[in-house]
Structure 1
Amino acid sequence: MTGEKTPLWKSIADALTEDLAAGRYGPGDKLPTEADLSARFGVNRHTVRHALKDLSARGLVLSRRGAGVFVTQTPAEYPIGKRVRFHQNLRAAGRLPSRTSFLRETRAADATEATELQLTEGAQVHVSEGLSLADDVPMALYRSVFPAARLPGILDHLAELTSVTMALKACGVPDYTRAYTRLNATLASATQALHLQCREGTPLLRAVSVNIDAEGLPVEYGHTWFVGDRVTLSLDLEA
């Protein structure tokens, strides 16, 4: 008497897992399309989708809406210290950094922003929000708030340069350091999950920070929401 047959989706998942273990697809590589996998294994797309969902649940692959399914990257090392630089940190970890912005506006500061930036409540601030990526994989959402009177042209510089460091230099701030960073855990909301291409409720690590210039004046009040399994944050007391 024979035992129960292995479900087709599990057999496909096992075959793909073996491909990953053998190095046929490395971190960041895109897997074949559902159509190609269906042809390879002689099954319909629903069965392939079930297998890919299993790999995703085990953290082996990441599905990116409209782009495909990719082998999960190893977490990027991201040191937190006095001289935190997004692009430099990721390049040092062997990753290609990039940023996309979906909001740039000037508005009145709320009470917390005014306190952190040493402004009077209601003073104007420039706000930039967007997505930080490593090798085109979403790593974090960010919100940066800048004092408008001190940095009147920073939104234009950010649009042109994308790097906060370069934008601050263009505004006459050649160097800055981190005054503090506070970390706490949270869960991805529906809109955050959409941007970060993860599931709603995915663990995020939120960093709240203030950067200051050489004279000790705040130049940026920032929030960053990191996807928990895509980054390893480390405290660098010398950086």
Structure 2
Amino acid sequence: MPRTPVWKSIARALSGDIAEGRYAPGDKLPTEAELSSRFGVNRHTLRRAIADMAERGLVQSRRGSGVFVLAEPTEYPIGRRVRFHQNLTAAGRLPAKRILTLETRASDTREAKALGLPPGDLVHCYDGLSLADNVPVALFRSVFPAAPFPNLLRDLEETRSVTKALEMGGVRDYTRAHTRLTAKRATGPQAVQLNIHEGDPILRTVGVNVDPGGRAVEYGRTWFVGDRMTLVVDDR
């Protein structure tokens, strides 16, 4: 029988490690030197194995950072009702949010226009990081009119859920009035938070949520990691 090429054996071994959970999505593989030592091969052979795994969508090499395990992109519906926790749970992922900043400040021109406020009116601003199975998948900024929701920042800190915080402020339901999607490249600060390389592709969504009476209650911008999330337009 023909002998299996060494690089294929290495690719199979590392793929098995990933399948068995030794390396989880988002994890960085050991360095080339460490893996070469483990398998007793030169770096050329190791790189052939890594290239094969990359072609199969198992890992991604990031210049200057290393080789990272990829997860299957999560389908994320963008429609009239966008609910992060519900969407991720329905996709079989464990959702979580990490608060980066919570503040009340004067609105800028774009925020005031989106929320139908006089320029400079106070708004609550929530900057955060969204995770799926503990892997960063998106950065977001949500801006809310301050006057109708005096306790919103406290409720957000307690619940980590926009839906629950708005409900505590009297908004039982809200829907997306419109959404814009734009392809971008990650800035340095975004790359650090999202554990990607500066310049990697990301998708930005911009949208406004309104209550049943049509009043704008949230102006949101989200930056999704391009290879971790698949945005699905859903008109329902």
Q: TM-score range by the shorter chain?
A: 0.7 to 0.9
CA contact (8 A) 1:29 1:70 kept: no
CA contact (8 A) 1:206 1:225 kept: yes
- Residues 65-89 of structure 1 deviation map (CA, whole Å, 9 limit, x = unaligned): xxx9753110001011111100000
- Residues 22-77 of structure 1 deviation map (CA, whole Å, 9 limit, x = unaligned): x4423975177559746532479x9999689757865532589xxx9753110001
Q: Which amino acid aligns with 1:176?
A: Y
Structure 1 unaligned regions, length at least 5: 1-9
Q: Displacement, 1:17?
A: 2.5
SS in 1 for 2:38: helix
Q: Which of the residues 122, 125, 143 maps onto 1:124?
A: 122
Q: Which of the residues 190, 197, 215 maps onto 1:217?
A: 215
Query: Hey, which bits of structure 1, 4+ residues long, moved more than 6 A?
Result: 46-53
Q: Which of the residues 3, 13, 32 maps onto 1:19?
A: 13
SS in 2 for 1:166: helix
SS in 2 for 1:174: coil
CA distance in 2, matches of 1:27, 1:218: 47
CA distance in 2, matches of 1:124, 1:52: 55
1:35-46 correspondence to structure 2 within 5 Å: 37=35, 40-42=38-40
CA distance in 1, matches of 2:178, 2:98: 25
CA distance in 2, matches of 1:152, 1:63: 46
Q: Displacement, 1:174?
A: 1.3
Change (3 A) 1:188 1:16: farther
CA distance in 2, matches of 1:17, 1:112: 50
Matched, 1:151 2:149: yes
CA contact (8 A) 2:17 2:23 kept: no
Identity %: 53
CA distance in 2, matches of 1:228, 1:63: 15
Matched, 1:164 2:162: yes
CA contact (8 A) 2:54 2:60 kept: no
SS in 1 for 2:129: strand
CA distance in 2, matches of 1:29, 1:212: 44
Number of positions where the alignment pairs a residue of Structure 1 with one of Structure 2: 223
Matched, 1:105 2:90: no
CA distance in 2, matches of 1:102, 1:197: 15
CA contact (8 A) 1:28 1:71 kept: no
CA distance in 2, matches of 1:113, 1:165: 20
- 2:86 corresponds to: 88
- Across the aligned residues of Structure 1 and Structure 2, the Cα RMSD in angstroms comes to 3.0
Q: Which of the residues 119, 138, 141 maps onto 2:139?
A: 141
CA distance in 2, matches of 1:52, 1:42: 13
CA contact (8 A) 1:109 1:123 kept: yes
User: TM-score, normalised to structure 2's length?
Assistant: 0.82
CA distance in 2, matches of 1:27, 1:204: 29
Q: Displacement, 1:19?
A: 3.1
Q: Which of the residues 205, 208, 227 maps onto 2:206?
A: 208
Structure 2 unaligned regions, length at least 5: none
- Residues 149-177 of structure 1 deviation map (CA, whole Å, 9 limit, x = unaligned): 01111111111111111111111111111
CA distance in 2, matches of 1:174, 1:142: 22
Change (3 A) 1:152 1:47: farther
